[in-house]
Amino acid sequence: MDISLNKYISETGYCSRREADRLIEAGRVLLNNEIAVTGNRYTEGDEVVVDGSIVKPANKEKMVILAFNKPIGITTTTDENIRGNIISYLNYPKRIFPIGRLDKDSEGLIFLTNNGDIVNKILRAGNQHEKEYQVRVDKNIDGTFLRNMSEGVRIDGVTTLPCRVKQTGKHSFNIILVQGLNRQIRKMCEALGYKVTALQRIRIMGITLGKIAIGKWRYLSEPETESLLTSVSGSVSEVKGKTYKIAKPQKLNPPSPKKTKTDPAPKQDQKKNKVSSYREFRKRGRKK
């Protein structure tokens, strides 16, 4: 066996590969009694120690994937020394770790699993795995805002990939991304002069938040798990280089380029297809 050290740690079930990278960079991993560095490889017989504990391959156990409705204020980290961390909050009896992140100030759907192999496959933007959000901002949305959001916004020195955006109210919109940049939606809005006042993730790939109450979780059903695994079966877990070839998605009801005034609120019958959890989301954010 000759694999990257971060992959070995991930496959033992200790944490995700991304979290393993952070542990290595922080100097918390020893490889054969020496401080590990990024790029180290694991070979059969090597000893790997993380925070003083030897990390060994886990016994093969049934894969677990949880769908959790994360509340605002919970931090998506496996570091249990951080107050309000997601692992301590769930208190699941076996070691699990989150797939990706969801801002502390945001709520909604996030997966947790004991299987490190699927984590990076789901996270890679190059695999075009969709994540859908409901967002509320501090002022009226207009056509220019919707076009700019859908075509890409310059943040942190890069232009975000094209995405699908649809207005759902005077101050709210739905957005579907295939990227996962740090606080991406919030930064996109800020770059256009808006401030996010509420943000909820309602879908990851084909799995929706549905009726999971805030702070509660459920297991993915067998059909959902099979569908998820099938959708990532052709995905790559590592991508060479930094360039992704992404097909530009079709916009959802793109506004007319001539419209500059504030777009009217959607008709009432458009609310029929909203998930039940979003009714409460809108209720909390609606001005009185």
Active site residues: 103
Running DSSP on this structure, what letter comes out for residue 45?
Answer: T
Query: Which amino acid, 218?
Result: R
**Non-local CB neighbours of 269 within 8 Å, separated by 6+ positions:** none
| Cβ proximity of 6 and 22 under 8 Å | no
| Cβ proximity of 171 and 136 under 8 Å | yes
Q: Of how many residues is the chain composed?
A: 288
- Give me the residue label for tokens 């969801």: 102
| Cβ proximity of 140 and 287 under 8 Å | no
Q: How far is CA 99 from CA 66, 110, 115, 268, 277, in A?
A: 10, 7, 10, 35, 21
Rounded Cα distance, 214 and 121, in Å: 27
Rounded Cα distance, 16 and 114, in Å: 9
In Å, how far from its chain's centre is CA 188?
A: 16
In Å, how far from its chain's centre is CA 113?
A: 13
